Amino acid sequence: MTATAFLSVSLDPPLVLVSLREGSRMDDLLDEQPLWAVSVLSESQRHIAGRFAMKGRLSDRLLFEDLPYVPGPLTGAPLVGGALATLECRTERRVPAGDHTLVIGRVLNTEVPGAQAGPLTYYRGRYRQLG
């Protein structure tokens, strides 16, 4: 999925949070599977964000077709190749919040390959560049 709400919660211990629409495919998946990963995309990876933001449910085979990804070394969760950073996480807590579920994950592993591109950002209905 492409997350619109992902943030750091704590440095010690390292925790992050993602907000999921209640009953969405990802909400259901993370309710069953406590290990997951985040790929922080670069400006040049807009097409990947678009693919994972599509409404409807593509099969996993179609979602990952022709996509450069590798399994995370600790979790096996797919990580997008060429991402600015990747995090492998384990769910610590799920918190109901209105029509969403806040999933708090403990960061188990991070990689920041040192790419020079800017991050992919989305604001007011458009992808934007940080200036």
pLDDT tens figures, 83-108:
999 999 999 999 999 999 999 999 99
Cβ count within 10 A of residue 129: 9
Phi, then psi, of 125 in degrees rounded to 5: 80, 10
**What pLDDT score was predicted for residue 15?**
98
**What pLDDT score was predicted for residue 36?**
94
Is it the case that residue 49 has pLDDT exceeding 80?
Answer: no
pLDDT tens figures, 56-89:
555 555 566 677 788 999 999 989 988 999 999 9
**What pLDDT score was predicted for residue 57?**
55
Q: What DSSP line would sit under 74-102, residue for residue?
A: TT--EEETT-SEEEEEEEEEEEEETTEEE
Handedness of CA 24, 25, 28, 33 (dihedral sign): negative
* pTM for the full predicted model: 0.84
Assign domain 6-128 to its CATH superfamily: Electron Transport, Fmn-binding Protein; Chain A (2.30.110.10)
